[in-house]
Amino acid sequence: MSILEIKNLSHMYDDKVLFKGASLSVNNGEHAGIVGLNGAGKSTFISILAGELMQDEGEVNWLSGIKREYLDQHADIDRNLTVMEYLSGAFAELHKLNARMEEYYALMADSDPDETEKLINKANNILDKLTMAGYFELDGKIKKTAAGLGIDAFGYDTVISTLSGGQRAKLMLAKLLLAEPDMMLLDEPTNFLDIEHVEWLAEFLSSSPKTFLVISHDTEFLDKVCKCIINIENGEIKKYGGNYTQFLAQREQNAKQYEENYIRQQREREKLEDYIRRNSARAATAGMANARKKQLDKMEIMRPPSVIYDAEFSFPLEPLHTKELLKLNELSIGYTEPLLPPISFTLSSEDKLWIRGTNGIGKTTLIKTVMGLIRAKGGEYDFHPAVKISYLEQDSAINDRSESPVAYISNLFPRLNLKDVRAALARVGIKNELASRRLCDMSGGEQVRVRLCALCQQKSNILILDEPTNHLDVRAKESLKKALIEYKGAILLVSHEKDFAGAVCSRIFDCKNRENR
């Protein structure tokens, strides 16, 4: 049974057509991934489905009574609530029922026998509903989901205002899962999850009888949870059966066919236009030329095939050979209280160290401490005097998001002329009009490319990267992995992607067990 019907959906962003005349149906219980190139319109599409954005044309028709929830990681939440208060909000309707039942019980004290019997019946009806819904086991249900996503580490009495953006995103995801809507609209749900929590979420979604649409650049995750793929490309929205790996094989064949059809149509149009030019003015052939023009006017023009701009990353090296590029000695990190027991390890100039651990355990705090952005609570750390650091923060380090990529790189590196700036951006796949677009209007993956481009313009002997793959598409991620493997300096890498980090790094520092190997 179809619970969502999309008919002739069209939408433009600035002057770019994201999709035109697209139609699609989603069936009850379907598990679908939404994929496409950066800037193709994935987040726009899911925002339209969520009712957060109005489409230019077309219809989005939901089956009556369908309850849907949208995970928007950029939304804000009431920061005055505690973690448990926020998560309990997923059951607001059940809490209202329970309050009404309590009111009935209170009214019984002053009611006559007949009225008391009516109140008892009403209260019992509600009690049956609450029992069927598992209301009296809600604390256990909340804590089970919270543990699966690593939220229990925050502390249930913790006020949300003290949490990081990534931690708040996990809370929003947990509340959505607890609410058990008929349709879940998930935009990059794994971005702030660690490996074990991604695995928990994959198992949860795979076994869920509910319907969901999920945007993710984590192809391994998509393979685990999706039974079909919705691809946004060439202004079309098409659904493919199978997981992501199966979709790739189908898409490659379709893309090749589309390109061949596009080239064939271009040749046919050129022939028609040439005939019209040569024969319109001659009386003997004007009628045939006019017929050709009508044929040309009726032809539905195919859009040029999507251009996939590959990214080529390369991080210049300032050679430095030492066994102690960075040394931590009983370093204590945290804010009011230490997040971890004292940390000690030494990094040589050729070590590539994966800093691994659950979300919120202190990985980013450790990085920011050694970068001097957060004061150490105790102990010490020391870089070699000749160290040259290139640092990528997890949260965007772009101060003025209204500027363009060209302006951003030019301001950071004023000695580069405009031609060199555009060439540098082009190498990471930021080309043509995209290089002049405002950063705030670019996709998350495009912004990460711009920030990585900046790192490619300066020599270093250590790269400190905090979740560099967040928002990157598959091909850009592969290019980044290749560049990091080829880099001859040291690397400190925070990443929740096991395959990526495992391919790049030769050592692991496990924050959970404080193991350094």
- Distance between CA atoms of residues 412 and 431, nearest Å: 19
pLDDT of residue 510: 85
**Nearest Cα residue to 34 out of 210, 226, 305, 205:** 226
- Distance between CA atoms of residues 60 and 55, nearest Å: 9
**How many Cβ atoms from other residues are within 10 Å of residue 331's Cβ?**
21
pLDDT of residue 109: 82
Backbone angles phi, psi at 248, to 5 degrees: -55, -40
Structure tokens at 256: 């090749």
**Environment class of 445 (CB within 10 Å of its CB; exposed 0-12, middle 13-18, buried 19+):** buried
Contact between 49 and 117 under an 8 Å Cβ cutoff? The reply is: no
CA distance to 115, 307, 399, 414, 450, per residue, from 404 (Å): 71, 21, 12, 15, 10
- Distance between CA atoms of residues 343 and 337, nearest Å: 15
Under DSSP, is residue 400 helix (H, G, I), strand (E, B) or coil?
Answer: coil
DSSP secondary structure string for all residues of 435-501: GGS-GGGS-HHHHHHHHHHHHTTS-BSEEEEESTTTT--HHHHHHHHHHHHH--SEEEEE-S-HHHH
pLDDT of residue 257: 79
pLDDT of residue 293: 86
Three-state SS sequence of 79-135: CCCEHHHHHHHHHHHHHHHHHHHHHHHHHHCCCCHHHHHHHHHHHHHHHHHHHHCCH
pLDDT of residue 207: 95
- Of how many residues is the chain composed? 517
Q: Scanning the structure block, which residue is given the tokens 């024969």? A: 279
pLDDT of residue 440: 80
**Nearest Cα residue to 307 out of 352, 262, 276:** 262
Low pLDDT (below 70) residues in the chain: 73, 252, 305-308, 359-360, 395-401, 512-517
- Distance between CA atoms of residues 5 and 284, nearest Å: 52
pLDDT of residue 37: 74
pLDDT of residue 514: 53
pTM over 0.75: no
- Distance between CA atoms of residues 285 and 280, nearest Å: 7
Half-sphere exposure of 229 (CA within 13 A, CB side): 23
Q: What single-letter amino acid sits at 425? A: L
DSSP 338: B
Q: What is the C-alpha R_g of the chain?
A: 28
